[in-house]
Chains A and B, each alone.
Chain A
Amino acid sequence: AQSVTQLGSHVSVSEGALVLLRCNYSSSVPPYLFWYVQYPNQGLQLLLKYTTGATLVKGINGFEAEFKKSETSFHLTKPSAHMSDAAEYFCAVSDPNQAGTALIFGKGTTLSVSS
């Protein structure tokens, strides 16, 4: 079975500081990995995804994530936080062999950005 652990339910940074949101996964097969962002009172928006190929993945709004198989991690980073980055972030994993079925989510990390 697959699972996702997001370390830290709440992360606070200052504007301009590095953003690091941690995600570790468990999967018996090479997984597909995703990061989603949810702004207040909105649905989830795909930030970036890893399927195959290059392990450093760039997404929207200046975010990127690196797939590290040896560490079973897919941490999300952004060099310089902006006030508009304040939101809830979800890491998710799926099994490529189970096409279209479960996308397993972590419990989410709320990012706060202070000026």
Chain B
Amino acid sequence: EAQVTQNPRYLITVTGKKLTVTCSQNMNHEYMSWYRQDPGLGLRQIYYSMNVEVTDKGDVPEGYKVSRKEKRNFPLILESPSPNQTSLYFCASSLVAGSGYTFGSGTRLTVV
């Protein structure tokens, strides 16, 4: 089944403890992206990648890192999480711009 898989689905962590949210797609898509969703703010792009080793900042990149060493994987790294990074995170992938993104099921992160 074609899909974008994120792990974990739920995560509670403490301020300052490094964490990684994994994202993998099995559709051979070139484009991948991370979004965060907050009430009243909709979805905002954190980082995106147009291919292996090609990444760029979105609208809200502060406090996040990404890497794209393989086409299928696009992990999101929080080096020192803070409470304002408590949010619902979505990974998405796309073959080309006009096809629209396929989204993962989301990761609900709580930083205390």
Contact = CB atoms under 8 A, between A and B. Distances in A.
Interface of A: 9, 32, 34, 36, 42-46, 49, 51, 90, 94-96, 98-108
Given A42-B105, A43-B106, A99-B50, A105 B96 contact: no
Interface of B: 4, 30-31, 33, 35, 40-45, 48, 50, 56, 58-59, 90, 92, 94, 96-106
B85 to A, nearest CB: 19
Given A34-B100, A46-B102, 4 more contacts: A32-B98, A43-B90, A43-B105, A49-B98
A10 to B, nearest CB: 12
Contacts of A9: 40
25 contacts: A32-B97, A42-B105, A43-B4, A43-B90, A43-B105, A43-B106, A44-B43, A44-B103, A45-B103, A46-B102, A49-B99, A94-B97, A95-B97, A96-B97, A99-B50, A99-B96, A100-B31, A100-B94, A101-B31, A101-B50, A101-B97, A102-B45, A102-B59, A105-B35, A107-B42
